[in-house]
Structure 1
Amino acid sequence: MTATITQNLAPVGVSERIGAMDVLRGFALLGILLMNLEGFVGPVMASASGVDPALSGADRIADLLIYVLVQGKFYTLFSLLFGMGFAVMSQRAEQAGRPFAGVYWRRGLALLAIGLLHAIFIWAGDILMMYALCSFLLLAFRPLPYRWYVWFGLGAYVIPIGFMYLMGAMGSLLGGTEGWDKAMGEIGAQMQALVESERAAYASGSYADATWQRFKSTGMALSNITMFGFIAFGLFLLGAWFVRSGAIARPLEFPRFYAALRWVALPLGLLVMLGSLALSPVMDAATYNLRTATAFALQMAANLLMCLGYLAWILKALQTPVGGRVLSVLAPAGRMALTNYLMQSLVCTWIFYGYGLGYFEQLPRAWHPLFALVFFGVQVVLSHAWLSRFRFGPMEWAWRSLTYAKWQPLRLRTV
């Protein structure tokens, strides 16, 4: 029975894909590269913490723009797309009357293994492990009406905000007391020690040194998975709503919804992000008070609002002849999202880490956007070339083969 089910199930073919999702994945890959560059060029644990007060001139302007317009927004978009992918697979299984849970469990376990290998042997800033672990929970929500996904998704998304407000209230009440200040001081010292340990291992250490450091950093990252897992899972559910409701496949049927995202969510999100920046331009893990908690809450709200605004504008552009032609160039990169994500880590760590070319902490912040555009441009070209000969990217092929428990055909058939 299991063999028959596995044989009948197969990856989504090119003709069955939702083209807009591939374009959005390609767009998200560019933003994620620009966001992650800070963690490639320098210590992972020191990245994504706000605007660096030590920077000036063009470097400070670039850092500010990346923080306001990119940081957190494209991770959010990537998470929405992951949830959309789950819903597409689920719908396809329902329409065919085929069991789904077993296949999805294998898919998640395969992604977990890929993420673990990525985190330890390539780059400690991996998000795949968290995606895999959170993805298993989606199966429990599969039978629910899709309208509930929005409320459960938003509920999960705001849980970390509530936790930060709780910590902020405690910090405001207990700040100045010996016990609290000592505890926060220890947290700050531990974080700084980890940053310096990463700096030593990645800047001048051997590959073995860097691997051991990645192992330690991954352990600390996994200790925070509960908090950030709520964020990812909430976004997965929101992404699933886009598919189950038809909003992503038939955007013309949701004109008011997308107009609100374009003209209200995006500008409002930008204003909220600027408010967060004004309250606290640096997110210090060892500083908890109501001010920093409010800045975090505003940043979280801005990430979602701006991400949805970006999504809506991309879909709007795809509906125009010129926009459709230009943006469709990104689709092959989006179809190879896993391969391209891992390639970014592999190449960038080789360029910047000591066991590679050794340019650690040597690329000025002002050069990050140009580096990302050139690198991603090469990835787009390679993706077009690869998919002209093969059905899937190499890592997508491996992932699908593990998911469906049989080798998938890789080469395109030639007439």
Structure 2
Amino acid sequence: MRTERIQALDVLRGVAILGTLGTNIWIFTSPDGAAGFLDLPTPDSAAGFTELLLRFLSNGKFLALLSLMFGIGLELQYRSARRRGARWPGWYLWRAALLFVEGTLHYILIFEFDVLMYYAIVSVLVAFLVGRSDRVRRTWLVVQAAIHLGLVGLLTAAMLGGTGTLSGGTPAAGTGNWFAQVADRISMAAVYRSEVVLVLPLSTVLFLLGVELLRAGALEDSARGHRLRTKLSGFGLGIGVPLNLFTTFGGQGLFVLDRYLAAPVVALGLLGLITTLVLRTRGEPGPLRRGLTAVGRAALSGYIFQNLAAGVLCYGWGLGLAATFADARPWWVIVVYIGLCGLLMTLSTLWLRRFSRGPVELAWQWAYQAPQRSLSKVP
């Protein structure tokens, strides 16, 4: 059972990483960067309808799935520390600090909408909660969920009432040179990081849900695991998908509701469905599953690499494809996305044939262990 659980986690992480690219690719391929991404197309043409449908398939739900995976991973690290008799959170706080630094560099140098900074902050809170009683954890979950729902409701009401708008970046975000992009991200940090108001409570909810789902057996090849996954799939897909379709095609006024409420509900269904499919698969995995597993094993490297590669292809300091093919949306975007997914799966598979971790994970592990090695040498 342990082997299957590990395989399910790797596949889920791989799907989540490639799924986040499915959202971010619309930012990279927009000639106006983030501003163009937030300017949603209308479904009154074949191109507009197709783009909205593709956005429906990816927007928010895979980032939510990644958040669930992060919570599950935190629970596994907590269990590992308990087995070793180590203090908790102990060195995990250093791990969170490294993640915050890495996220900050990723935000400044590569991508406006980095999530690693948010994850680092939330992971510290959840690290202190994971060892508390069920009552404490669930109280925090309910309170954070209430805060999040209140914020989503207020913002949606403001946007539908015409008093709120979605503000994006400047042209430098998509068409300027690299130094202009870096300066833009620094000077407009308050705009680009404003998502923190919604992401922090939502990520806290999803991290804690990940802990609860793992403890409830959601990834187990067992009767209770099967029952829980069936409920997750029914709720997440049966209710979440129709709601998500409505919010996607309901206009820009429902953007917050679409990304920060409907999409996370669908993510729960995806967790149940994908895990069930993995556990039902017997025999030698095919190339798709091997590729997803490799991406999942090197998830951090994959997340950074796909954003860097998309920037090289699309931004003005790279090949500038976003401006060149501005009139060919969304068709050329599909080609770029499939190509990047194939490239990432191939490179991840080849790398992991020689190394146990992804390149960023290896560097990160060295940095994580460095102070521990230094302390161990102190007489």
- Normalised by the shorter chain, which TM-score bucket? 0.7 to 0.9
Q: Distance in 1 between matches of 2:20 and 2:72?
A: 18
- How many residue pairs align between the two structures? 366
Structure 2, unaligned stretches of length 5 or more?
A: 374-379
Alignment of 1:351 onto 2:313: yes
* Partner residue of 2:11 out of 23, 41, 44: 23
Quote the offset at 1:82 in angstroms.
0.8
Structure number with bigger Rg: 1
1:307 aligns with 2:272: no
> 1:156 deviation in Å?
1.7
2:330 aligns with 365
What's the Cα RMSD here? 2.9
Residues 332-387 of structure 1 show CA distances to partners (whole Å, capped at 9, x for unaligned) of 11010110111111111111111111122426223323322221111111111111
**Bigger shift: 65-74 or 368-377?**
368-377
CA offsets 1:101-126 (integer angstroms, 9 cap, x no match):
23111111111111111111111121
**Larger CA deviation: 266-275 vs 154-163:** 154-163
Give the aligned partner of residue 41 of structure 2. Answer: 52
Task: Give the SS at the match of 1:38.
Answer: helix
Partners of 2:296 and 2:37 lie apart in 1 by 24
Return the offset for 1:223: 3.7
Range 372-381 or range 388-397, more displaced: 372-381
Find the aligned partners of 2:256 and 2:29 in 1 and give their Cα distance: 25
CA shift in 2, pair 1:135/1:119, >3 Å: same
Deviation at 1:238, TM superposition (A): 0.7
- CA distance in structure 2 between the aligned counterparts of 1:245 and 1:163, rounded to whole angstroms: 29
Which residue pairs with 1:393 in the alignment? 358
Q: Secondary structure at the match of 1:101?
A: coil
The yes-or-no answer on 1:218 pairing with 2:189 is yes
Letter in 1 for 2:140: F
Q: Deviations over 1:305-346 (max 9, x none)?
A: 211111111111112236972324411110101101111111
Match of 2:376 in 1: none
Contact 2:198 2:260 in 1 (8 A): no
Q: How far apart, CA to CA, are the structure 1 residues paired with 2:209 and 2:280? A: 26
Pairing partner for 2:174 from 192, 195, 202? 202
Alpha-carbon shift at residue 217 of structure 1 (Å): 3.5
Normalised to the residue count of structure 2, the TM-score between the two structures is 0.86
Identity %: 28
Specify the code of the residue in structure 2 equivalent to 1:52.
P
Runs of 4+ in 1 over 6 A off after TM superposition: 14-17
- Say whether residues 1:114 and 2:76 are aligned partners: no
The answer to whether the aligner puts 1:316 opposite 2:276 as a matched pair is yes
TM-score calculated relative to the size of structure 1: 0.79
Tell me which residue corresponds to 1:134. Answer: 122
Deviations 1:254-275 (A, max 9, x none): 2222112223430211111233
Q: CA-to-partner distance for each residue in 1:147-177, whole Å, 9 max, x for gaps?
A: 76456335423423212434566788xx6xx
Query: Counterparts of 1:366 and 1:246 in 2: how far apart (Å)?
Result: 41
- Cα distance in 1 between the residues matched to 2:72 and 2:284: 21
Residue identity in the other structure for 1:325: P
Is the Cα contact below 8 Å between 1:262 and 1:309 reproduced in 2?
yes
